[in-house]
A and B are shown apart, each in its own frame.
Chain A
Amino acid sequence: MGIISRGFGGRRRESVPGLPPGQYLTHDFPVLSAGPTPRIPLDRWSFTVATETGEKKKWNWQEFTALESEDVTVDIHCVTKWSKLGTTWRGVALDTLLADVETAADYTMVHSFGGYTTNVPMEDLLDGKAWIAYKFDGEDLEPEHGGPARMLIPHLYFWKSAKWVNGLTLMNDDEPGFWEAAGYHMYGDPWLEQRYQGD
Chain B
Amino acid sequence: MARAALPGRLTWRAATLVGERRETPSARTLVLDVPDWPGHLAGQHVDVRLTAPDGYSAQRSYSIASAWDDKTVELTIQRVEDGEVSPYLIDDLQVGDQLELRGPVGGWFVWREKQTAPVLLLAGGSGVVPLMAMIRARGTAKGKQPFRLIYSVRTPEDACYAQELSRRVRDEPGLDVHFVYTRVSPRKRIDVATINSYGWPADFTPDCYVCGPTTFVEAAADILVALGHDPKRIRTERFGGTS
Contacts and interface: CB of A to CB of B under 8 A. Distances in A.
A196 interface: yes
Given A12-B52, A35-B235, A198-B8, A144 B218 contact: yes
B71 interface: no
B99 A36 contact: no
A182 B43 CA distance: 13
Contacts of B52: 4-5, 8-9, 12
B84 A30 contact: no
Contact of B53 (A6, A31, A32): A6
Interface stretch (B100-108, B145-153, B179-187, B192-200): B100-108
Contact of B232 (A8, A30, A115): A115
B92 A7 contact: yes
B9 A36 contact: no
B99 A3 contact: yes
Given A36-B231, A38-B231, A30 B236 contact: no
A143 to B, nearest CB: 9
Contact of B1 (A3, A13, A144, A178): A178
A191 B218 CA distance: 31
Interface in B1-41: 1, 3-10, 12, 14
B205 interface: no
A62 interface: no
Contacts of A38: 231
A99 B59 CA distance: 41
Given A12-B58, A197-B9, A182 B107 contact: yes
A165 to B, nearest CB: 15
B240 A183 contact: no
A5 B97 contact: yes
Contacts of B1: 34-35, 114-116, 178
Interface residues of B, number: 57
Contact of A22 (B6, B59, B88, B235): B59
Interface stretch (B133-141, B157-165, B170-178, B221-229): B221-229
B61 interface: yes
A interface bracket (residues with beta carbon within 8 Å of B): 35 or more
B243 interface: yes
B240 to A, nearest CB: 3
Contacts of B84: 9, 11-13, 24
Contacts of A4: 51-53
A96 interface: no
Nearest to A115: B1
B237 to A, nearest CB: 8
Which of B1, B8, B107 neighbours the largest number of chain A CB atoms within 10 Å of its CB? B1
A26 B51 CA distance: 20
A115 B88 CA distance: 39
A32 B108 CA distance: 13
Given A37-B222, A178-B1, A183-B106, A1 B100 contact: yes
A42 interface: no
A155 interface: no
14 contacts: A3-B14, A5-B52, A5-B92, A5-B93, A7-B92, A8-B52, A11-B88, A24-B84, A31-B217, A37-B222, A179-B108, A183-B4, A197-B7, A198-B8
Interface of B: 1, 3-10, 12, 14, 47, 49-54, 56-61, 82-84, 87-88, 92-93, 97-100, 105-109, 214, 217-218, 221-222, 224-225, 231-232, 234-236, 238, 240-243
Among all A-B residue pairs, the 9 with the closest Cβ atoms: A30-B240, A9-B52, A198-B9, A182-B4, A182-B107, A36-B221, A11-B84, A115-B1, A183-B7
Given A181-B3, A183-B7, 4 more contacts: A1-B14, A31-B240, A33-B238, A36-B225
